[in-house]
C-alpha cells in the first residue's frame, strides 16, 4: 500500500479545516462557556472563516481556473471540493447567526447588556444617535453614486460597505438608482451609549444601524428605497517570483497593496438585501450563487471582538489568570545566572513569557554580551523584543535578525521591524528564498571568565508576547554547549553559505526532521512486530504529510499504540479495521489555543521526546526552515510528558474524538470532568 494509492484513507485539507471551525463554533454553543466568551468565539469563528476564504477557497478557485481535472492526495478535484465547502460553509454560517440572534444576544440582554435595535430606539436615544451621526460619522463618509462618471468602486477586502437603492434625480439630473457607501474603518462597529440614555448598564448600537437610520441625509432630495450591508472577501495570498526576485523586501512592499484588491471569493450581504441588488453585486465581483452568503445580522462579526473587552463584566468572562514564574528566576538576580544553574523549561501561557523578554533585555544592556541572534516570524507591531534588539544594535553589539518577510498577514509588520533594525546597525537577513524560516531560535554570546559562552532559547511558538498569553507552547532556555553549537550552526547556515550537515542534537527541516520522524515511527513498528511494547504520541496543529500518515497506518497494523492530539486538520482516518484500529485522534478546543508540537516515542523504554516548531505537514518538512530539539534534562523531559501529553489524553471536557469518516464527536462529560487547561493553570499558574 503506497500513500498515493489509497486516496480513500486521506481526508481533504479544506474539509478538515471546516471541521476544525465547526469545533470552534461549538465553543459558542456551549452553555458552560462564559457568556461574553461565547460572543468572542463567534467572532473567532468569523475570523477563521475569513482566512479560510482568503487563502484556501481562493486557492481552490485558482485550481478550478488553471487545472480543473487535477486531483489531490485525497483523490478529489478542486471543483468537487469547492461544492462541498460551499454547502458546509453556508450551513455553518447560518448556525452561527442563529446562535448570535436567538441565543447569545437574548442572554446578554438578560445581563443588562443590550444591542439596541433602531426599531426600538426611544426619543432620547434617537437624539443622541443623530448627534453621533452628524458629529462623528457623516464628516468621514463618502457616498458614491453609480453612473458613467462614477463606476462601481474598487472595494477593499473585508471592508464594510452599504449598497443603496435610490429613486428620483439629484441636483445634476442624474437618476442611476444606485450608490455605494463605505463604512469608515477608523470608527468602531459598535458604539456604547451613556447608561442613562441607553436605559441599561451597557447599551450598544451597531454602526450599521446608525448609518441605516440616517442614510437619507447623504442623498438630499432623493428617496432611499433600500440600504443593504455588504462585504467582499478577496484572495489574499501574495505571489513572489523566486526566479525574478532580486530584493525580497522591495518585491513584497510592491505586492502588499494588491492584497486588498485580489480576486473576489465571497460576498456577504444582509438578509434584507433585495434579490436584484444581490445579483448586481455578484456581477460586479464576478461571483456565482454559491459565493453569496446572506446573513441575519452584521456582516462582519469579527469587529464585535472588542465587545467582551469593552464591557466590564468579569463574571461573564473567563476568570482572570496570572502566569507563574519558574523558581530559578526568583532565586537568581540574572537570567544568565538562572540558566547557567540548569536548563529551564517554560510552559506558556501557564508560565510567564517575561523571562524570554528579560533574556533579550539583559543581553541588550549587559556589557559582557557580544552578540545576539534571533529568528523573527511573528512578533507583532508593538514588540518589546524588537525594541531591545534595536537598542542592542545601537549599543554596538553584533545583532543578527533572521526576519521572515513571508509570514502571512504579518509581512508589513516584519518589513517595518527589518527597516528599523537595519537603521540601528543590525544584520538583517531574510532566510533562504523558497523556504520560510519558521524556526523559533534566539542565541546570545557572552564573555565569562575570559571565555565566550553561548545561551539559547528554543521554542515551539513565536516571539510574540500577546499570543504567548493565549497559545500553549514550550520554550527551553539552555547553555548546553553542544545544543547551543547546533543553534549557532543553524544561524550560520541561514546568514552565510555552506552545506547542510547533521547536528549533534538538533533536527532541522528540510534536511533531517522528516527522516528522523519516519525512522522513529518505523522503529516502533519493528518493536511491535517483535512483540515488544511500542507507543507513538504526537501533539501538533495539523497532520497532512502522506508518507508520515502511511507510516502511522503501518505502525497501527503492526500493533503500535498511536495517540494523536491534533488541534486543527488531520488527514489521517483513525479506527478503520485492518488499517488504523490502533490509532486514536483527538482535538482539544478550549480557552487557550493548543499550539505546542510534541513528538513522543517509547523507544524501548528510553522515551524519546522532541519539541519542535513544525507540524507534520509537507510545507513544514520540505519547504520551511524548522527545528526539533530534545529535552536533555530527564526532569524536563518528564515535565513535557506530564504537562504536554498526559493531561490532554485524559481530558474529557474540551476533547473531541475523531471518527473514521473524518467527523468529530465531543467526549461525554461525566461529573466535574477533567479539563487539561484548567488543571495546568492550577499546577503552574501564579498566585
Just list the catalytic residues: 438
Collapsing DSSP states into helix, strand and coil, what is residue 79? helix
**d(C-alpha 562, C-alpha 535), whole Å:** 6
CB 434 within 8 A of CB 403: no
The three cell numbers of residue 336 are 544568565
- Nearest one of 224, 241, 142, 154 to 183, comparing CA atoms: 142
Which positions ≥6 away from 317 have C-beta within 8 Å? Answer: 34, 36, 37, 308
Q: Are 326 and 351 in contact (CB under 8 A)?
A: yes
Burial of residue 453, with CB atoms counted within 10 A of its CB: 0-12 exposed, 13-18 middle, 19 or more buried: middle
Please name which of 14, 88, 84 lies closest in space to residue 52, comparing C-alpha atoms.
14
Look up residue 103 and give its DSSP letter: I
Can you say whether the dihedral through the CA atoms of 601, 606, 348, 307 is positive or negative?
Answer: positive
Query: Pairing mode, if any, of strands 440-448 and 369-376?
Result: antiparallel
Task: Return the C-alpha cell found at 157.
Answer: 477586502
Q: How many residues does the chain have?
A: 687
HSE, CB side, 13 Å, CA atoms: give it for residue 46: 26
Report the C-alpha gap between 683 and 323 in whole angstroms.
11
| 645, 472 contact by CB (below 8 A) | no
Largest CA distance in the chain: 89
Q: Angle at Cα 613 formed by Cα 610 and Cα 619, nearest 5°?
A: 115
Vertex 326: Cα angle to 325 and 327 (nearest 5): 115
Burial (0-12, 13-18, 19+ Cβ within 10 Å), 489: middle
Residue labelled with grid coordinates 528564498? 433
Dihedral angle, C-alpha 476, 478, 484, 487, nearest 10 °? 20
The SS3 assignment for 77 reads: strand
Distances (CA, A) of 16 to 122, 194, 204, 360, 501: 47, 45, 36, 39, 36
81: its cell numbers:
471540493
Q: Is the dihedral of CA 32, 33, 34, 35 positive or negative?
A: negative
Q: CA-CA distance, 529 to 676, in Å (whole number)? A: 33
Rounded to an integer, what distance in angstroms lies between the CA atom of residue 83 and that of residue 554?
A: 33
Using DSSP's 3-state secondary structure scheme, residue 393 falls into helix
Classify the phi-psi angles of 133: left when phi > 0, otherwise alpha if psi is within -120 to 50, otherwise beta.
alpha
In terms of DSSP bridges, do strands 471-478 and 451-459 run parallel, antiparallel, or are they unpaired? antiparallel
Amino acid at each position: 500500500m503506497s500513500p498515493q494509492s489509497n486516496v480513500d484513507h486521506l481526508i481533504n485539507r479544506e474539509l478538515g479545516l471546516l471541521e476544525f471551525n465547526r469545533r470552534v463554533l461549538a465553543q459558542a454553543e456551549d452553555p458552560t462557556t462564559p457568556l461574553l466568551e461565547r460572543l468572542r468565539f463567534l467572532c473567532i469563528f468569523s475570523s477563521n472563516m475569513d482566512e479560510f476564504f482568503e487563502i484556501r477557497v481562493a486557492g481552490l478557485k485558482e485550481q478550478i481556473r488553471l487545472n480543473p481535472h487535477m486531483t489531490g492526495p485525497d483523490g478529489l478535484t478542486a471543483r468537487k471540493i469547492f461544492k462541498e465547502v460551499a454547502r458546509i460553509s453556508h450551513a455553518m454560517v447560518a448556525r452561527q447567526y442563529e446562535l448570535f440572534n436567538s441565543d447569545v444576544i437574548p442572554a446578554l440582554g438578560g445581563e443588562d447588556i443590550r444591542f439596541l435595535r433602531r426599531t426600538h430606539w426611544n426619543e432620547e436615544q434617537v437624539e443622541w444617535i443623530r448627534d453621533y451621526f452628524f458629529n462623528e460619522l457623516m464628516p468621514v463618509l463618502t457616498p458614491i453614486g453609480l453612473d458613467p462618471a462614477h463606476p462601481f468602486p474598487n472595494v477593499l477586502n473585508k471592508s464594510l460597505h452599504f449598497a443603496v437603492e435610490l429613486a428620483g434625480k439629484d441636483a445634476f439630473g442624474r437618476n442611476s438608482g444606485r450608490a455605494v457607501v463605505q463604512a469608515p474603518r477608523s470608527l468602531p462597529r459598535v458604539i456604547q451609549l451613556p447608561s442613562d440614555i441607553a436605559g441599561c448598564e451597557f447599551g450598544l448600537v451597531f454602526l450599521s444601524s446608525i448609518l441605516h437610520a440616517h442614510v437619507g441625509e447623504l442623498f438630499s432630495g432623493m428617496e432611499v428605497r433600500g440600504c443593504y450591508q455588504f462585504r467582499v472577501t478577496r484572495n489574499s495570498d501574495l505571489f513572489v517570483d523566486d526566479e525574478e526576485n532580486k530584493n525580497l523586501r522591495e518585491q513584497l512592499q510592491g505586492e502588499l497593496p494588491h492584497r486588498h484588491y485580489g480576486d473576489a471569493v465571497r460576498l456577504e450581504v444582509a438578509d434584507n438585501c433585495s434579490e436584484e441588488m444581490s445579483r448586481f453585486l455578484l456581477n460586479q465581483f464576478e461571483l456565482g450563487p454559491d459565493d453569496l452568503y446572506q446573513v441575519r445580522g452584521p456582516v462582519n462579526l469579527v469587529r464585535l471582538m472588542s465587545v467582551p473587552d469593552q464591557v466590564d463584566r468579569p463574571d461573564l468572562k473567563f476568570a482572570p489568570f496570572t502566569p507563574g514564574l519558574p523558581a530559578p528566576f526568583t532565586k537568581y538576580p540574572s537570567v544568565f545566572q538562572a540558566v547557567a544553574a540548569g536548563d529551564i523549561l517554560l510552559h506558556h501561557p501557564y508560565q510567564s513569557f517575561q523571562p524570554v523578554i528579560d533574556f533579550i533585555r539583559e543581553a541588550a544592556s549587559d556589557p559582557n554580551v557580544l552578540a545576539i541572534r534571533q529568528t523573527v516570524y511573528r512578533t507583532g507591531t508593538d514588540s518589546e523584543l524588537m525594541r531591545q534588539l534595536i537598542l542592542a544594535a545601537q549599543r554596538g553589539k553584533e545583532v543578527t535578525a533572521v526576519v521572515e518577510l513571508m509570514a502571512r498577514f504579518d509581512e508589513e509588520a516584519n518589513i517595518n521591524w527589518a527597516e528599523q533594525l537595519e537603521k540601528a546597525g543590525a544584520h538583517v537577513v531574510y532566510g533562504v528564498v523558497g523556504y520560510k524560516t519558521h524556526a523559533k531560535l534566539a542565541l546570545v554570546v557572552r564573555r565569562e571568565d575570559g571565555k565566550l559562552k553561548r545561551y539559547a532559547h528554543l521554542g515551539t511558538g513565536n516571539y510574540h508576547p500577546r499570543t504567548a498569553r493565549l497559545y500553549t507552547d514550550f520554550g527551553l532556555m539552555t547553555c548546553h554547549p553542544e545544543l547551543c553549537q547546533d543553534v549557532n550552526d543553524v544561524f550560520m547556515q541561514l546568514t552565510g553559505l555552506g552545506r547542510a550537515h547533521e547536528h549533534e542534537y538538533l533536527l532541522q527541516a528540510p534536511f533531517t526532521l522528516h527522516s528522523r520522524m519516519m525512522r522513529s515511527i518505523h522503529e516502533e513498528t519493528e518493536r511491535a512486530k517483535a512483540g515488544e511494547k511500542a507507543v507513538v504520541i504526537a501533539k501538533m496543529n495539523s497532520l497532512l504529510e502522506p508518507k508520515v500518515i502511511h507510516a502511522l497506518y503501518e505502525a497501527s497494523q503492526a500493533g503500535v499504540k498511536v495517540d494523536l492530539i491534533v488541534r486543527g486538520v488531520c488527514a489521517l482516518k483513525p479506527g478503520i479495521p485492518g488499517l488504523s484500529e490502533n490509532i486514536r485522534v483527538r482535538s482539544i478546543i478550549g480557552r487557550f489555543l493548543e499550539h505546542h508540537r510534541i513528538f513522543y516515542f517509547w523507544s524501548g523504554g528510553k522515551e524519546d521526546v522532541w519539541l519542535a516548531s513544525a507540524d507534520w505537514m509537507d510545507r513544514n518538512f520540505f519547504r520551511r526552515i524548522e527545528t526539533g530539539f530534545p529535552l536533555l534534562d530527564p526532569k524536563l523531559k518528564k515535565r513535557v510528558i506530564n504537562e504536554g501529553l498526559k493531561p490532554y489524553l485524559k481530558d474529557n471536557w474540551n476533547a473531541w474524538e475523531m471518527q473514521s469518516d473524518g467527523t468529530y464527536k465531543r467526549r461525554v462529560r461525566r461529573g466535574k470532568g477533567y479539563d487539561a487547561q484548567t488543571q495546568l493553570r492550577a499546577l503552574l499558574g501564579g498566585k
